[in-house]
A and B are shown apart, each in its own frame.
Chain A
Amino acid sequence: MISLAQTYIIEVMTIILYCLLIFVPLLLGVVMALYADRKIWAAVQKRRGPNVVGPYGLFQVPADGLKFIFKEIILPDGSDKTVFLIAPIITLALSITAWAVVPVQAGVVLANINVGILYIFAISSLGVYGILMAGWSSNSKYPFFGALRSAAQMVSYEVSIGFVIITVLLCVGSLNLTEIVMAQKTMWFFIPLFPMFIVFFISALAETNRPPFDLPEAESELVAGYQTEYSGMPFVLFLFGEYINILLMCAMTTILFLGGWLPPIDIYPLNAVPGFVWFLLKVIFVFYLFAMVKAFVPRYRYDQLMRLGWKVFLPLSLFAVVATSSILFFFNLAPGM
């Protein structure tokens, strides 16, 4: 037993260190994303946004976080208390877990597994449980409606995301995220697969419950959706989980379509910049698009949302899978052929 401890204790410590290396920048990223989201939204509406706490209002989000930490955690009387408290923890834990396989630079990744893209797809399909559990355990009608809507929405848009990922994989020939980026050395995939890029972007908005698809928390109908009964720390966990998921979707868009850490053109001053800077810039750009969409697109109606998912995106992406594979096959472009 002692030899076991000696062998594995160093390994476990290194893994914990690596996890912190992911977790701490991610938390900082979420804080900045929350701030940027509010600032961009304000700028579109000709407001100033947060500008009081700290320089340019930069400390607004940490201040909000502190406020939530010191607030009382209210457990509704008729709620299923265990499930009620597990739900936000699951949401946050799953959203962080998915980041384990995201490569920020060539070789800089915690787990470079063979089925990286499937892993991310699997983890994000689990995210629906946090919301369903929260909505059910609150024992209140608004959270329940919010959870049902959210689950239906996430399950529907996962289908089209899956097909879009398949079109990308057809052009790569591997499920490994690093190899997906390396396959874009000659051309970023958003050029040949432009329609799929749009479908993926919109589906990512729906998958993360962002406006204009934020029906699960449509405040005009459902108070705050599945989070209605939450307060204090559990509420913050939901908020962080949601924003980490949004950042993950931004990173996925970057890796699948915008060439990951690769520079736009492979010439001297551009390729001397370290890869993670390019990666970060691209993620910020995609997040900026997310924030702009939130600022100026009105909310969809629920039946329009379902129509878009099942009657527009599903046939379109299914057709794209067939078309892409036919083109790759008949022009002998398929990798590994």
Chain B
Amino acid sequence: MAPKQRNTTAAAPPPATSTSTSTPTPSTSSSQPTTAAAAATTAPSKPRLTAGGQPQTLDRIVANVAAHYLDTTPQRTKLLDAFMAFLVAAGALQFLYCVLAGNYPFNAFLSGFSATVGQFVLTASLRIQTTEANKSDFPNVSPERAFADYVVCSLILHFFCVNFIN
């Protein structure tokens, strides 16, 4: 699932992305929602870089994952995924800014960054709880309940962020 992406984007060295993203994207399929595909593909790109040896297997893995994703994910969940991808992008942007331009208002950076991370994590939780496959793990949590929880937690999160931003 998607939660990995933040780490990858943060850690992956810039030159790798150009080569790796170019190969899998045409191979997967032509008519996919772009953000979701990017989310699914950027992550596996990095190990391939470290391994380097078996591009063939990796290609197949990526293709499989993408196919699986497209087959099984309902439309609503895709929406969530899009939101998560946006959050990853926002987080990565902030981090990049922090690295390049310095972290001077550290409060502001921290609250901004943790707002994206927190929101990402909460959305991921919501996604997990609403997925049909995980139904057995959450006997007490209906999708409606999950959404209510999500709203409450987000409110708390943003309250803290706004309070911390100075």
Do these two chains really belong together in a complex? no
